[in-house]
Structure 1
Amino acid sequence: MSLRLVKRLSRDWFLLGMVCAVGLALLFPDFGKAGGAMHADVVTHVGIFAVFFLHGVGMPLAQLKAGALQWRLHVLVQSFTFLVFPALWFAFNLVAGAWVPADVSLGFLFLCAVPSTISSSVAMTGAARGNVAGAIFDASLSSLLGIFFTPLLVGLLAHTTGQSLPLGEAILKLSLLLLLPLVLGQLARPFVGAAFARYRKYTNGVDRVFILVLVYASFCDSFSSGLFSRHGGATLAMVIGGAALLLATVLTLSTLAARRWRFSTEDEIAAVFCGSKKTLASGVPMARLLFGAHPALGLIVLPLMFYHQLQLVVCSVLAERYASRPSGS
């Protein structure tokens, strides 16, 4: 791991914030649990609406149009996000599902069903000298499709873990609290878009603070129910190992697929980074909406939290390797 990457991680206040959010949930679970003094349901709904409104304001329509015609790239990325990931989970569940706790399995299913991330996919594609316009389009399209495909996939496959999801209610919730603010953000973009771009550093900070509040509330429910006292270090190791194995598999498959389709190096970079990533920024709000005050919510979002950190580390290394290639190759 390069010295530059170590320094980058040491400045990642969001990673430290997630650790602190979990620690606070362990120390003060009653404050943030459902029905607690924090009024988590109200706070999280307001936070989710605000996060997706900011996403809508920050979604660059002109750059989306620039990348819209590259259909082979879009097919590959969306297929990996919503078909290959769930297929990998299904295959794993058939082989090892009997030895994996149901809540952990549901967490990995949720991880495999959430859309790709926007900010880090685009940033790393740019750093690697890849197809930035295509990455912007695919990451943004993935977020929109996830509003419908994520609850659909979880609803269809959750029964294999012994759990179920009210599909119609879930899609309605996601549409009201995710799609509506995205649309309102796009409508507001002509009026506030310039100011948003000027203060992006601060608006991104607001986004992340809301995510940390959602992480805290999710773990409060789990700690107050005694969930983690019933799962030892073996479960934690299982989650970390499973997230690492999943990331390695998808990175390998997406690279092979891009080369099999004879993508240019720039398109390969966009395909690998957008097709292998999963969003924590959208995933945690989705989990709160889909699973509500589920006592195992903290365990359900744990695979996504570990996967998120692993993808940042590994894809940062990959971006540096891609960027070091000779110009024109």
Structure 2
Amino acid sequence: MSLLSRLIPDRFVLVLLLTVAAAAVLPVRGAAAVYAGHAVSVAIFMLFFLHGLRLPRAEVIAAMRNWRLQGLIFVFVFGLMPLVGLAATFAQPSFMPAGLIVGLLFLGILPSTVQSAISYASLAGGNIAASVMAAALLNLSGIFMTPALVVLLIGATGGADIGADTVLRIVAILLLPFVLGQIAQGWLRGWAMRNKALLTFLDRFAIALAVYVAFCSAVAGGQMAALSWTVLGILTGTIAVMLAIAMVAAWGLGGLLRLPRPDRISLLFAGSHKSIATGAPLAAILFGGPQAGLIILPVLLYHQLQLIVSAPLASRLAKPRSEQISSD
């Protein structure tokens, strides 16, 4: 692999980084920003409709059957990882912008990725069925769990908009489209399977638009001026430590509970990964104003770092045990 491929395994991450740069150079302001916000709401509705359309109901039901592994992954993602995020906020220096500190905690309470966690678990020899089920259960639960944890751990003092209007928005543009997508499977799922490339583009467009509008708000509000190289260096180091703790804890917990190796691998990737696809839309809903862009930034950096680390890790785990020992 080339150096660029190692540093940016997923080209979509490069698209998101370019989106942030575009927001810094060409931010939308005034009335245009209002219309852009409405466009984000429509895009998020579309994003979760497509999630509901493509996720077979059988997988949603099956996700709840392997209760031991699925329960362990659920508790790890929504129990242990929020504590890691909370600890990271206390470790920050006094000059760290408040939006980034909230972003570290928000990162900790997000659900796992769908595609990358399954792909790397498959590459490493993990339990593919369990990984698919975990992705389904975590992201469906994330619609409820992440806002609930935002209320519990961040609250209005951290800039979260937690009023009745926010609850209605979550239901209207996250839960409702997902349910409609599930209902429409009988008519549209065949079309969706035949047009995966188009739906992937629409997914990524919705995420990029949410990131762009959030960072435009941060630029317009002067929040981006606080991002010095020192701040970015400390933030990146903190995120690297969070990822290391997540992976070591997930792998160690699987060993402590004597899980079969495939289940242990699934716990490793499903437990430690975090979803920008869920994080960006939820940040747009839960956090209004200029700090939304700063809150998304830790999620974006973590997402990139988890891909960089997971590729060689999955390849190493895929090797026979004897081959690993000889290479050491």
Instruction: Output the TM-score relative to the length of structure 2.
Output: 0.90
Deviation at 1:19, TM superposition (A): 2.0
Cα distance in 2 for partners of 1:205, 1:11 equals 18
8 A Cα contact 1:134 1:270, kept in partner: yes
SS at match of 1:116: coil
Q: Are residues 1:129 and 2:141 paired? A: no
Stretches of structure 1 lacking an aligned partner (at least 5 in a row): none
Partner of 2:26: 28
Within 5 Å, which residues of 2 pair with 1:6-85?
Answer: 7=5, 12-29=10-27, 31=28, 33=29, 35-36=31-32, 39-85=35-81
**Partner of 2:167 in structure 1?**
171
Distance 2:39 2:186 in 1: 28
Partner Cα distance (2:72, 2:212) in 1: 35
Identify if the C-alpha distance between structure 1 residues 165 and 275 changes in structure 2 by more than 3 Å, giving closer, same or farther.
same
Give the number of aligned pairs: 323
Query: In the aligned structure 2, how far is the partner of 1:159 from the partner of 1:210?
Result: 26
Find the counterpart in structure 2 of residue 203 from structure 1: 199
Residue type of the alignment partner of 1:226: G
Cα distance in 1, alignment partners of residues 49 and 282 from structure 2:
15
Q: 1:181 aligns with which of 169, 177, 184?
A: 177
**Residues of 2 paired with 1:87 and 1:10: CA distance?**
28
Deviation at 1:305, TM superposition (A): 0.2
> Structure 2 stretches of 5 or more lacking a match?
323-328
* Aligned match for 2:214, one of 218, 241, 264: 218
**Counterpart position of 2:293:** 298
Q: 1:135, CA displacement in angstroms? A: 1.0
TM-superposed CA distance for 1:133, in Å, is: 1.2
2:326 aligned residue: none
Matches for 1:148-163 after TM superposition, within 5 Å: 148-159=144-155, 162-163=158-159
Shift of 1:44: 0.2
- Residue 228 of structure 1, CA deviation: 1.4
Given that residues 221 and 298 in structure 1 are in contact (C-alpha distance below 8 angstroms), is that contact kept between their aligned partners in structure 2?
yes
User: What's the offset of the Cα at 1:8?
Assistant: 6.6
The one of 243, 246, 251 equivalent to 1:250 is: 246
Name 2:269's counterpart in structure 1. Answer: 273
Shift of 1:170: 2.9
In structure 2, the CA distance between the partners of 1:318 and 1:222, relative to structure 1 (3 Å rule), is: same
State the 1:158 CA deviation.
1.6
Is contact 1:287–1:301 with CA below 8 Å preserved after alignment? yes
Query: Could you say if the C-alpha distance between residues 162 and 284 of structure 1 is closer, same or farther in structure 2, counting changes exceeding 3 Å?
Result: closer
Q: Deviations over 1:202-254 (max 9, x none)?
A: 31122112211111111111111221123311111122111111000000000
Distance 1:68 1:163 in 2: 34
Residue 312 of structure 1 is matched in structure 2 by 307
Distance 2:36 2:107 in 1: 23
The whole-number CA distance in structure 1 between the counterparts of 2:144 and 2:56 is 22
Deviation at 1:6, TM superposition (A): 5.3
RMSD: 2.4
| CA offsets 1:148-194 (integer angstroms, 9 cap, x no match) | 11111112222596545425443332121111111111111222222
How far apart, CA to CA, are the structure 1 residues paired with 2:303 and 2:225?
24
Contact 1:158/1:165 (CA < 8 Å) preserved in 2? no
Query: 1-side partners of 2:8 and 2:162: how far apart?
Result: 41
Q: Offset of 1:58 from its aligned partner?
A: 1.4
The one-letter code of the counterpart of 1:106 is V
User: How far is the alpha carbon of 1:64 from its aligned partner?
Assistant: 4.1
CA offset digits 1:90-112 (Å, max 9, x no partner): 23334547553321111111111
> Partner residue of 1:240?
236
Q: Secondary structure at the match of 2:171?
A: helix
1:200 shift after superposition: 1.6
C-alpha separation between the residues in 2 aligned to 1:4 and 1:303? 26
Change (3 A) 1:8 1:209: farther
